[in-house]
Structure 1
């Protein structure tokens, strides 16, 4: 994206005027129509050098936030065996631990629109980065399984609200570039995921071999991500608020999200892909280690799986945004997942690199889902409702998967049944992906 393009980017509703032409008191801005409220001061474009640079700062904030939305999870997957031994976890409790992200995303994600309405999305994303920082640095030293879970929940709460608000930020600031900006965000998210998977074990060894240090070091990256969002908050430029705010100012008809078949299809698709993703992040290194692969190599294999999302997450949203029906992409990704599961069943060690690549392609159902969230509504107000609904319901759907895998693994003594479960869930994921990919808008359905 060229610098000239970045300089003109701002909230979708912002008039394209130069900073010098912006009156400090808001005079000269379009006046509200009949029955509409005047814009609040924080809704007016910012002035001064920081205001001119604000779109670039938002982009930096998006990228840094995305880099921090998975390391708290994948770093744990790379050291799960050491954490289990250090805290005395059973296989079932470890399975519960891999289910905690989905539970927190569902519980805290649903609160994101209300929090954003009151404080502004910029402030909530900033608070989310702070929560990640504190949770990640505290949890290894909290003492016992309970303290570890509580601190993890704090970090995951920060991830949850940021998860929900990222599509809203993109739709609000870059309405004419939803595909490319979703691609940039998804690419950064995949990069952060793969870096945590690849570097956690060697960093742990380099820092003395303690799994506690290896997990807590990722708080540094989260602390850096706080900085651009502090600038956004200081500029009183909280990003476009949720649907009720938008409806109140523009007269939009409120969307009854639960009446939309497309919203439900997208929520189920999101839930099933999240199930597959968190099983992969939580358990795939252990599958390879049980097959005779070393801990370091198993971490690198997970990193390869996650790294596949870096280029594909940038390309896939661009491609999806140009298609009227995204169903064929959902089918293709699902078939790659089925092939990867078949390989993990038949020859987990012999074809480990191929299976890691196939699972990485399959996991790109996540940026596809994010892109469809941005495309299935006509407004930022609709997107925030759809994003909260899809992600909260989706993560609720995904909660039992990792826990069930851990239980099956412990009681069956092998990976045959867990892998069969993963492959079986891929079939309905393909089906609902086709339904969610139809060229529909939730406003038309409700």
Structure 2
């Protein structure tokens, strides 16, 4: 991704606080202005920010159900399509691959069309992909339609923080918390209700997966309105004068690499959990519906912790202790899955849910490891793109080990083993350093 694209999509270098001299509409801009200083005339100054909030929440609700609903019905999908364990492992690796591949394109697309239009297209891609994939005819069609939905998720993932910083520069923390809560809620909701909803709709896994397209279709509606207002394009401020930003060679920063590896390892654990944890419980004798609820519990831990962790991390000079605590919860959860997966299922689900909250910690550290807005954007793009590439092999290896060993001993050992380097790089990434200073 070119540096000029990153700079264009980054928030302005000025502080995010705003003067209270002119009347503000609650979005951090004068009531007569839209993002980038574009005018918002008449009643739009009052209702458009609320519509953006609704769009953010609806978009966030759609960023994980395509993945977690599949995890809840993985056994039925494998049987229905004749998938091997290795191919199923590949399927659980596709999200990370798509996030790395399509996420890189998001800044260029947003520069050309505006973030609102690209998020709108992303929601439409999710709706079409989720609706089509169960009926696409075979494994190849299923994977292709899944890739379409995941492409929509990928570009929306990248652009949601841009939209937040553009529309709500004085409320970045609270709006990010709202976004994170909605994302965790969508994740856990799909995990919890997919199996019982499938049964209520006739028992077909195809219906159970495709029904989530309706939620994505609803999310398209507010973004259609937002996209019509080209002021949502952050590129509109590209020509504005900005203070000089210090040059940053991101690939030369040890902190940037530590963050990228930490992001990649936490993403590995998250996608293994979403893709395989219900099957681990089902193979241990836990009913399918209960296994889905257990995954929902794991995902739902992100709802409260997405508020608590960023606030706690921002008050600490060194976030390493938080990375250690989350990693130890993961080690304890994997140990329990290995020793007594059914007997202590609820405890292991809770511990894994706490461990998976390394994601908001990673996002918080990305924001703290740079002293400039352009540096934050560069660091975020680097850490997420490299991190998602790192996470690709994990679910595939778990599927292969499961198929060839005939049990979950080796896969769980792999999951537990990955927590050790995650803790180590988390400590390195948590040091009070700035990439502009060569850290």
Deviation at 1:75, TM superposition (A): 0.2
Whether 1:123 and 2:117 are equivalent positions in the alignment is yes
- Structure 1 CA distance, aligned partners of 2:46 and 2:432? 36
- Structure 1 CA distance, aligned partners of 2:186 and 2:35? 36
- Structure 2 CA distance, aligned partners of 1:364 and 1:407? 26
Deviation at 1:357, TM superposition (A): 0.4
Pick from 368, 388, 392 the counterpart of residue 399 of structure 1: 392
CA RMSD of aligned residues (A): 2.5
Pick from 226, 231, 234 the counterpart of residue 232 of structure 1: 226
- Structure 2 CA distance, aligned partners of 1:209 and 1:173? 43
Whether 1:351 and 2:351 are equivalent positions in the alignment is no
- Structure 2 CA distance, aligned partners of 1:379 and 1:128? 29
Deviation at 1:348, TM superposition (A): 0.3
Pick from 352, 372, 382 the counterpart of residue 375 of structure 2: 382
CA contact (8 A) 1:128 1:162 kept: yes
Write the deviation string for residues 127-147 of structure 1: whole angstroms up to 9, x where unpaired: 111111111111111111111
CA contact (8 A) 1:194 1:302 kept: yes
Residue in 2 aligned with 1:316?
A: 309
Pick from 64, 72, 79 the counterpart of residue 66 of structure 2: 72
- Structure 1 CA distance, aligned partners of 2:318 and 2:247? 26
Residue in 2 aligned with 1:417?
A: 410
- Structure 2 CA distance, aligned partners of 1:354 and 1:47? 54
CA contact (8 A) 1:95 1:407 kept: yes
- After superposition, the Cα gap between the structure-2 partners of 1:171 and 1:259, relative to the gap in structure 1 and judged at 3 Å, is farther
Residue in 1 aligned with 2:77?
A: 83
Q: How many residues align?
A: 421
Write the deviation string for residues 34-81 of structure 1: whole angstroms up to 9, x where unpaired: xxxxxx996424222223333333222222111111000000000000
CA contact (8 A) 2:36 2:166 kept: no
- Structure 1 CA distance, aligned partners of 2:287 and 2:249? 51
Matches within 5 A, 1:105-116: 105-116=99-110
Residue in 2 aligned with 1:4?
A: none
CA contact (8 A) 2:16 2:169 kept: yes
Indicate the larger mover: 277-286 or 313-322: 313-322
SS at match of 2:232: coil
TM-score (norm 2): 0.89
- Structure 1 CA distance, aligned partners of 2:400 and 2:268? 15
Residue in 1 aligned with 2:162?
A: 168
- Structure 2 CA distance, aligned partners of 1:391 and 1:230? 27
Write the deviation string for residues 259-309 of structure 1: whole angstroms up to 9, x where unpaired: 222221111111000000000000000100110111111111111111111
